[in-house]
Amino acid sequence: VMLAQGRAPPPQFHHPLDCYRCHPFAGMTDLVEPSRPQNAYWLWLGENRDALTKQAGGGSVSAVGKLAGETWKAMSAAQKATFEKKAAALKAEYEAAMAKFIADGGVKGKRRAEKAEIKKGKTDKKAKKEARKASGAPSKPQNAYWLYLAENREAITKEAGSATGSVVGKLAGQKWKALSAAAKAPYEKKAAELKAEYEKALEEFKKNAPAEAGDEEDEGEEEA
């Protein structure tokens, strides 16, 4: 484009930081520590979990784990070979990826430390609840949803075809939301009665207990 005087406009200059390609951190992404791969046993279990669960009668995780361990130990070296070879290859890939991660400035074990910190927080929370329970403080009652789930857990577990908490909880939540107000009413009435009893007991407890014992109430279970 030419100006009226017939001269071209001066070139436009930008600050280096306004240019993505000129930015010293352009294109860089956060380093992600590689995850430790599964060993031969866990690779085998991943491929055979459904069959083992069926063989165990669709039981709990511990029942499936026990059967899996017994089955794995009884397998011959030839039967395990495929999984051990794959595990060795995955381990080699992991070690190479870890070496690159460290060379690029990553810190080995940082992610594990962060997970441990989160776990510690959960443990502290559990310990606090147990200490409060030991003090004799009344426990916060279940809400309407949890009363409904407790009464119908067996049927819902059977319908879900799994005893896994997340699977049962998801189905229970869907069923609860689909219930009419009339169907929910008995549980809501019971929950209101239990709440009133709890609040009365809590007030009585606070009168006789040390001040710090009644400072924090139990965190009730959330509705799905």
Nearest CA among 182, 59, 202 for reference residue 136? 202
Q: Average the pLDDT over 33-60 and give the result.
A: 89
pLDDT attached to residue 211 = 54
Residue 150 — very low, low, confident or very high, per pLDDT cuts 50/70/90?
very high
pTM, two decimals, is: 0.41
DSSP class per residue in 105-116: T--TTHHHHHHH
Please say whether the beta carbons of 163 and 58 come within 8 A. Answer: yes
Residue 107 — very low, low, confident or very high, per pLDDT cuts 50/70/90?
confident
DSSP secondary-structure letter at 216? S
Give the distance from CA 142 to its chain's centroid: 22
Q: Average the pLDDT over 101-124 and give the result.
A: 83
Residue 193 — very low, low, confident or very high, per pLDDT cuts 50/70/90?
very high
In the chain the first and final C-alpha atoms are separated, in Å, by 64
With a cut of 60, say whether residue 82 has pLDDT above it: yes
Half-sphere exposure (Cβ direction) of 77: Cα atoms closer than 13 Å: 0
